[in-house]
Amino acid sequence: MIVNLTDKSTCDKRYGLNYFQYTKVSGDSRTSAKMTVEIQSESKSKAFRRKTKKYVKNTFSMNLVRRRLPIISWLPKYKSEYFIQDIIAGITVGLTAIPQGIAYAVIAGLTPEYGLYASLTSGVIYVIFGSCYNVTVGPTAILAAMVAKYVSTYSADFAILTAFLSGVFMFLMGIFNLGFLVEFISMPVISGFTTAAALQIAAAQLKSFFGLKGSSGNFFSESVQNFFANITTVQIWETVLSSGTIIMLMLLQKLGQGCKRTDGFVKQTRWFISLSRNAVVVVIGMIIAYILKVTTGSEPLAIIGDIGSGLPKFSWPPFSTLVGDEVYSFRDMMSILGIQSVMVPFVAILETVAIAKAFAVGGRIDATQELIAVGLCNIIGSFGQSMPITGSFTRTALNHVSGVKTPAGGVTKVLLLVVSLTYLTSTFYYIPKASLAGLIITAMFSMIDYGIFSKLWKNSLIEFCILMATLIGCLFLGLEYGIIIGILIEALLLLYNVARPKIEINKIKCDQGDVSVVPLGENVSYCAVEHVRQRVIKASSSPAPVILDGGNLKKLDFTAAYNLMSIVKDLETTHQIVLLNFRVDFKKLCLDIDSRYASKFVYAANYNEITDVFPKDV
């Protein structure tokens, strides 16, 4: 670009240069050209510095710091009236987090303290980095089920390493704003996955529910097979206690219906007992187990036994492990985990984003910050012997209805966990496995969306098939492979719909006779053009002229434009095709490919002017 050096406004405003430096040399063409290059270089350099300065300013701005460290935003604004509400919510959630943490550790095949460790470390980190004040994080049934087979086959180190890898994966997804990828997973895939997970987890608890001998199994089919193989070993005490646990949980849930924290003393008490029902049934089970031991002198109920006391020991995550006499290196562990090292964090992201969206104020969330926060919870938690964690729907809902006001409610939960790990682990010795089995199976009821099956069957048979394919794959091949099957089927359907868009051929009558109008959609991708071509060829089989209506077209890539011009070339001998109302930039792109067909591009306000659109030779 040659700049007029005698134009003062150009030099001063556009390039930031002194006008009087160049007026003396403006008559010398060689000097002028040289100065033009210098102006361009200085202009580009200045633009680069300006963009760099803007990037640094945005990167290190106080607003960004507040977004990435939410605690510095809400803590200075903390009000004294929030304190009691946060305390109540924290205690309520803590009384649920303790039995659930123990139960989910059991699902994962870990000793109970690992579930408490996971809730402890994640609770501390999320208070600092979490962006949703009512979200609580910790171990969940699905993530526990996904690592169970590695723990039972090898060692607990695989669960801790999975937590570390999940954290790194989620943190990077947050940093690079890749959380949108979970939006490509449809509701049928999610429902099929969660239903299968609930069935697999419930099936794995049949052993403890009935007090059976043998193993619980790592897959749904294996658990069911083991159940029928050992059905003659059913224990009456376990069956009665686990069944009673389920009945009691349902009754306690109904006890709190219609009650709120702000009601009178009686309703307030019912509300609190109902919300703390998980802890209530576990405590009752402990009392029954203790009484039976004292009165009978034996332990007729299977109990969880010793739990490691004290806070977790912080150390590096296990990048190698010893199983029996065999040492597994990091490469060996990664080879064993395989696709699970990606699927666990992916499912964790799915749960985190879904829960944050459900409970975010005004429906708005900072998905990036949530991924960073939960990623850090897993990374730092793995240094404290944590199993994989994510947002918990049950505990988040409980936190919400308890009236929590700030993330400080999580501090109370953490303190309750510290007290439990320090002073109460000897008491947890008497927790019956049957009580935990009843608690877990009851929790699985809410994970299944019973209504979606009939709705999809009536309204969308294709999506019903996707749900069933995901469900069956998860049950018989494993959760990680089942969800991959669902995602792949969904991706193939998505690609098919892109490559085969619905194209209608409209017949319009005008003074010159019938005209075939082929309206294009907003986006004609390169893979769909052959389909468009076939439809246009079909429309041109009649003597009626053909109009490609690009009025709605908003995106056109080079390959698609090239193929569109090929269509014009194929039909030019019959003069049957016109390109109507294409955007100027799309027209320019097409003519850059083949400039001979400029006359084919025409414009009209509506189809009523169709007779004015055609050139005389069409």
pLDDT of residue 333: 94
Classify the phi-psi angles of 544: left when phi > 0, otherwise alpha if psi is within -120 to 50, otherwise beta: beta
Torsion over CA of 228, 231, 237 and 238, rounded to 10 degrees? -20
Rg from Cα positions in the chain:
33
pLDDT of residue 118: 93
Cα-Cα-Cα-Cα dihedral sign, residues 119, 124, 129, 130: positive
Tokens representing residue 135 in the block: 């979200």
Tokens representing residue 105 in the block: 């550790």
Whole-angstrom distance, CA of residue 407 vs CA of residue 395: 13
pLDDT of residue 30: 45
| String of DSSP letters for 106-165 | HHTT--THHHHHHHHHHHHHHHHH-S-TT--EE--HHHHHHHHHHHHHT-THHHHHHHHH
pLDDT of residue 364: 65
Q: How many degrees, rounded to 5, is the angle at CA 177 between CA 175 and CA 180?
A: 145
pLDDT of residue 528: 83
How many Cα atoms within 13 Å fall on the side-chain side of residue 286?
Answer: 17
User: Contact at 8 Å (CB) between 552 and 520?
Assistant: yes
pLDDT of residue 264: 80
Instruction: Name the stretches of the chain with pLDDT < 50.
Output: 1-27, 29-41, 615-618
pLDDT of residue 501: 82
pLDDT of residue 116: 93
Tokens representing residue 39 in the block: 């102006």
pLDDT of residue 44: 55
- pTM (2 decimals)? 0.77
Tokens representing residue 339 in the block: 């696709």
pLDDT of residue 57: 61
pLDDT of residue 34: 45
pLDDT of residue 19: 38
pLDDT of residue 24: 40
For 276, phi then psi, to 5°, come to -95, 20
Tokens representing residue 532 in the block: 């468009």
pLDDT of residue 344: 92
* Cβ neighbour number for residue 51 with a 10 Å cutoff: 10
SS3 217: coil
Strand order of the β-sheet with 513-519 is: 506-510, 513-519, 546-549, 577-580, 601-602
SS3 298: coil
User: Contact at 8 Å (CB) between 439 and 245?
Assistant: yes
First to last CA, the chain: 42
pLDDT of residue 108: 92
